[in-house]
Structure 1
């Protein structure tokens, strides 16, 4: 009988259990609901404006309030996981956006809706980083990137579901019914999470010390462990503890972390610029409404499709190299897609699908990269800050592209210009990979951020 269980390498050295699959599936469900509630306001806003007699300008604060809330959740609340645990933060964040969506069913004015969307965004931003962190912690290293990419595909599927549900319910039951669905779905999943979602082992062996509970979770991964409770030993660099921003930047990781933030910001800027302006560009070029919807959706679908390839590549061939190749390919697709606007639909639509592989797929792969390079002790904070800083790019990107279009840039010129930053980001990722390899061959304490 073993005298102790060593947490370091424990998950990596064993077959994936049904318990782990359930944990990852629950995190993926949370990401799906997160994506649904993030996107649904974009589909409902025109109906709300028509119902309340609002001008288009008034919709801006409604859209931006949720984005501001997301930033608050990412930057301020995700570090609280070191005090309360990932499980509690996921459940609490889900409860917040469920309740605010429910209250939105009876909202009566713009101010109320803006406040509710702000709080909804805070809940969404609190839940996502901890869901990513839990997925990474309960995934063996050999499939970690694949599992993180898989649950982040749930976020994109939530985008798609928001449009489908709105199109199905709104014409018959009105826009308030869609908010009701956005509230009831997370309310159903919360009791399931209370029963089956595990707490972080790093948290239970650190600040939230509960040795017996930690051991019982280990037994659910490996049933061959003895029934009698044994000590769970953990490397100090992996134990849960008080995490501040300086911990993410410590041990020479400042440059690596800042570069990672820049890549996040550029990628999210390009993604949201395409989501915001592609329908307008296509409409101005005379494409039919159905084609516009299909083209915009293909950006998201391309990101989901490429995840099936890039996830295993990151696990088997290396996270940095695989992501750099994806960004280079994405830059090529952006440059090639511009001239496709002048061609027939059967040329333009596949071109935009390939653009989605690079841009939307790059967004998901970046989340997986952050989950791989940050150790468990700072993973939620690291992912949360990367997403939060990246959200600044998501705000600036549509503004920059809008200014370019206002200056009479053609869609071809815009897409060609977007290819440049993607290439620069590929170079940054290559540099991060070299730093990581040097750090791995240099005897030094375990870093707490990307090198």
Structure 2
């Protein structure tokens, strides 16, 4: 008889086949459409503000609504995957995203747009966690980091393509067509996922839902590991009122605190760089076009950086490469602002900062699922991403307050460089606490 634990070991050790890469591609497409859906409001903000006569504060609330929904989705929706499965969670989350985009296209009052952006954000938050977990679980140890980097790069690609198509659609059909296009594309993806997306092997073996063994063997056959795979004896779990309480058990406490610290520090730094760089460079003397160009270079570097991280981590340990990226990010951020008076140097270091920071995010997505066992993995991943989102929300606000207090841009960027080093320290101790093997 073949043992199920050997199936997990086989997946870890065997080359990844076409079926596994198809799952990675589906995750990347989900993330690509997330990039489009999340930034749809940013692409159409000027037209929406003009139609409804919005103040800056009202527009700010609308822009924040999606991020609020994403945070709530990561914290409260994603953990359902540990109870109902990764596949049902992703189908539910993609449905919410499609409904939110469709509702946004037909609003008559701007308050309803805020509501539908929260719904869209809830879906996106669930998708971010579900795709992270299922990509990790279907990847081999050697190619896991690269597979997650491919999936993670989808968000940036979706944002770039979304910007291009938004300009084309708005010019011809108005801003509502952008949301309608997002709803149609997301709905088509839902059909694809319903037909082809499998359930997680780890969920089938840990939770053992109805027909789990039959489903397990069907998936194993598609992977190219056909055999008479048996379910292990189902482990008895201590029931808790809230799944999150397991993250603070003796087994996971240190790992949880360390991965949360790393997520908060890296996402805080990333969103500070993304939010404030163009404005601060313009204030320092660049033209609007020059400051926006540097911002675009940071985004361009981001897509490349995620893939570079994945390739490096497939040769060395994911944690080791991530620690290196955090140190280099800190140095690059400080060098970037000190050399910002020269445009071409600022653009070069802008690309470098974008590449390294996005590589750090890919690294977090690689390590995060490996920190927790299958029965609480989505809960652990969701809360880590949610904590990172809180850092993302706080970063622009704290930076603005420090500017009002008299901090100059050099001091802000040096401060962010040191925040990145906090993540370095947390990641250094993470392996000894959680015994991660990546």
TM-score between both structures, scaled by the size of structure 1: 0.90
Q: CA deviation at 1:168?
A: 2.2
Secondary structure, aligned partner of 1:287:
coil
What CA distance in whole angstroms lies between the structure 2 residues aligned with 1:307 and 1:247? 31
Residues 233 and 364 of structure 1: is their aligned pair in 2 closer, same or farther, counting only changes over 3 Å? same
Shift of 1:71: 1.4
The offset of 1:163, in angstroms, is: 1.9
RMSD (CA atoms): 2.3
Aligned-pair CA distance for 1:222: 1.5
CA deviation map 1:291-321 (0-9, x unaligned): 2332112222222212223223333321222
Which residue number corresponds to residue 405 of structure 1?
403
Q: What are the within-5 Å matches in structure 2 for residues 263-302 of structure 1?
A: 263-302=262-301
Residue matched to 1:208: 209
User: Shift in Å at residue 373 of structure 1?
Assistant: 2.9
- Distance (whole Å) between structure 1 residues aligned to residue 339 and residue 363 of structure 2: 26
Structure 2: give runs of 5+ residues left out of the alignment: none
Q: Is the 8 A contact 1:265 1:389 kept in 2?
A: yes
Q: CA deviation at 1:387?
A: 0.6
- Are 1:337 and 1:412, in contact at CA under 8 Å, matched by a contact in 2? no
Distance 1:169 1:249, change over 3 A: same
Residues 42-441 of structure 1: matches in 2 within 5 Å?
A: 42-205=42-205, 206-209=207-210, 210-222=212-224, 225=226, 230-234=228-232, 244-343=243-342, 345-436=343-434
CA contact (8 A) 1:275 1:296 kept: yes
State how far apart, in whole Å, the 2-side matches of 1:81 and 1:108 are. Answer: 35
Question: Equivalents in 1 of 2:11, 2:250: separation in Å?
Answer: 26
Give SS of 1:142's match.
Answer: coil
Q: How many residues align?
A: 433
Deviation string 1:121-154 (CA, Å, 9 cap, x unpaired) is: 1111112211111111110111112111210111
**113 and 12 in structure 1: CA distance in 2 versus 1, 3 angstrom threshold:** same
Structure 1 residues 109 and 173, CA gap change in structure 2 (3 angstroms): same
Contact 2:11 2:140 survives alignment (8 Å): yes
Query: Deviation digits for residues 407-440 of structure 1, max 9, x if unmatched?
Result: 3433222211211111122112112134345x88
Q: Equivalent residue of 1:419, what SS?
A: helix
Q: Secondary structure at the match of 1:208?
A: coil
Q: Distance in 2 between matches of 1:72 and 1:106?
A: 24
Looking at structure 2, the residues matched to 377 and 297 of structure 1 have their Cα atoms a distance apart, in angstroms, of 40
Cα 1:330/1:169, change in 2 over 3 Å: same
Match of 2:18 in 1: 18
Mapped to 2, the partners of 1:235 and 1:292 lie a distance apart of 60
Give the equivalent residue in structure 2 for 1:444: none
Q: Is the 8 A contact 2:70 2:121 kept in 1?
A: yes
Change (3 A) 1:90 1:200: same
TM-score (norm 2): 0.92
Task: Determine if contact 1:145/1:311 at 8 Å carries over to the other structure.
Answer: yes
For residues 416 and 249 of structure 2, what CA distance do their matches in structure 1 show? Answer: 33
Structure 1 unmatched runs, 5+: 441-449
